[in-house]
A and B are shown apart, each in its own frame.
Chain A
């Protein structure tokens, strides 16, 4: 089973060999490293940029305007904040030019906590990203979705932000989620596409003949069906919420976990259907809680589905702190953990109007 980062690499391989991707670039993205998380190892069109995030985003916009298909990486989303005006431009160019220029670029960047990354390798970007109109924003929670969303991002004529939950990048998918054409033995896959340690100058990947699989942008996925409480989440918190729900099943609480996968556009019909079914909703994400994407979902649920609700909607999100501290206890206290999710689900399940 491919890990998420291998799935992303395979998608980029399909992108550059079959879908017209012309440039895959960012800091340490080219040989020999192939990305600090190995997402771009062995790719033909991968190249190293100067250490300059504004240059990276500007170059991606320019390449896109010139009709290329760029995939740019910001090494950690923590370092994307000085590019926000350029991200706004990428998002508003089609609109401000009255439909004259579209900007077909993909920006991928690792996000979130979970690796004890301290203050500048733990930021989330979803709250910021969803405040930049004109972008499509996706965030996978497993290798198969990562693969399919990346392919959809590549062929989309608009700027697409691909948020990579860094705590999940090295996790393998379920056997049932094999990518089309992926070798069944994950050791075999690794031997084919992972660069060796040490000297790599003579190394070349042997790409498996993976087939295209598109996960449509804007479509959520029921990660775990349930009837009593709905959890709306994405990225790293999906497996966490599923684990919480599985444990709560023993207590007789049947929880539905909806993996949004796309933050913009988001799957409102699926959200509404789930809330209508369970009448109780919890939003979970890691970004700081003040002006949080979950708050938006809750606002819309309250406005449009108020009489469906049997309990006040809840948000479990990152604490509104200036940073995520390095020490174990600090990180655990700063972003949602399984126990906190369980507590919130329990309270929602017990609440009667």
Chain B
């Protein structure tokens, strides 16, 4: 991709995604399956009363797993910062997170490493890996991402910020584009929109007059692409290219991935299976069987193993201690500048 001109075409092609090696396919598939099984377990926990609320990412695994595999994981400005949203469990698993920790957050036990029983499921925070706390207020991460990206202008790391389609109507999305594209002060930020065509109940057409959200980037001279986020190979290729562009050119990139929302918005709408949405895991399974990378029996076996593992883990998590009432008063003010020790 050239940076001398300000291209307005989509540099990443949507059609004919490059095939990945069988080994990479297997790695991605395995993580997608683990992430799917995790979401199913979280929903079951919710339905059995082992949690107050569920929100998560079934339907985004084909995109979120490659993202987790491709980022430069670590701490401080020389590694990538991730400003994710509440559908990002697959990204965390791909980065190496323990799925049991997600169960702990669901059950709001004191051992929840992401928020110590304080926050909803899917609200991750891992300073060790530059995963800044996922926020409930929609879109604020796009304003905050400007800051980490600015801190990385001369560093090896980049900033990745991700959110849904509806949230881009918030001013913070435009804020990110304005600040990231200033001439001579461009920021190394990969802006991702995972477009599932809904904001809770409001369909895409109900709030966006433009065809694609990424089209908005063109007015800012930001490189853009729209991809099939239900295709892990297309996602992998596009993310690889976009990340390399941001890292090498130190400029923003806006990547829109069309994804599914397989269990509706959240537990508030029942978290039941939605018909007529592409299931990326099932689709990838067919592809892998067709390419003779996996057999149906093997797939079934894996699924059963992971399901049993998490069912056992959930039983154990149920016995873990809840936070004490006094602990509500912990961590109001820091005594030490923890983040200052990261670089």
User: Measuring CB to CB, which residues of chain A are less than 8 angstroms from any residue of chain B?
Assistant: 20, 22-23, 49-50, 52, 54-55, 57-70, 85-86, 89, 93-104, 133-134, 136, 157-158
Contact = CB atoms under 8 A, between A and B. Distances in A.
B339 interface: yes
Given A50-B179, A58-B143, A86-B140, A68 B151 contact: yes
A74 to B, nearest CB: 14
B148 interface: yes
**Chain B contact residues: helix, strand, loop or mixed:** loop
Interface residues of B, number: 51
Interface stretch (B25-33, B125-133, B267-275): B125-133
B338 A102 contact: yes
A63 B148 contact: yes
Contact of B178 (A55, A63, A96, A102): A55
Interface stretch (B64-72, B115-123, B246-254, B301-309): B115-123
B256 to A, nearest CB: 21
B36 interface: no
Given A55-B178, A61-B144, A67 B342 contact: yes
B175 A101 contact: no
B179 A59 contact: yes
Interface in B290-343: 330-343
B331 A50 contact: no
Nearest to A104: B337
- The 5 lowest CB-CB distance pairs between A and B, nearest first, are A62-B147, A58-B143, A98-B116, A66-B151, A102-B334
Nearest to B175: A55
A68 B338 CA distance: 11
A60 B140 CA distance: 13
A290 B151 CA distance: 41
Contacts of A55: 143, 146, 175, 178-179
6 contacts: A55-B175, A58-B147, A58-B172, A64-B339, A102-B338, A104-B340
A97 B125 contact: yes
A59 B334 contact: no
Contacts of B179: 49-50, 52, 55, 59
Interface of B: 76-77, 81, 112-116, 118-119, 123, 125-127, 132-133, 135, 137, 140, 142-152, 159, 171-172, 175, 178-179, 182, 330-343
A110 B171 CA distance: 24
A100 B127 contact: yes
B330 A99 contact: yes
A54 B171 contact: yes
Contact of B339 (A49, A86, A95, A104): A104
Given A52-B179, A85-B140, A97-B115, A64 B172 contact: no
B178 A52 contact: yes
Contact of B133 (A58, A100, A104, A158): A100
A94 B175 CA distance: 24
B114 A158 contact: no
B118 A95 contact: yes
A121 to B, nearest CB: 23
Contacts of A57: 143
A94 B334 contact: yes
Nearest to A47: B185
Contacts of B337: 102, 104, 157
A122 B119 CA distance: 37
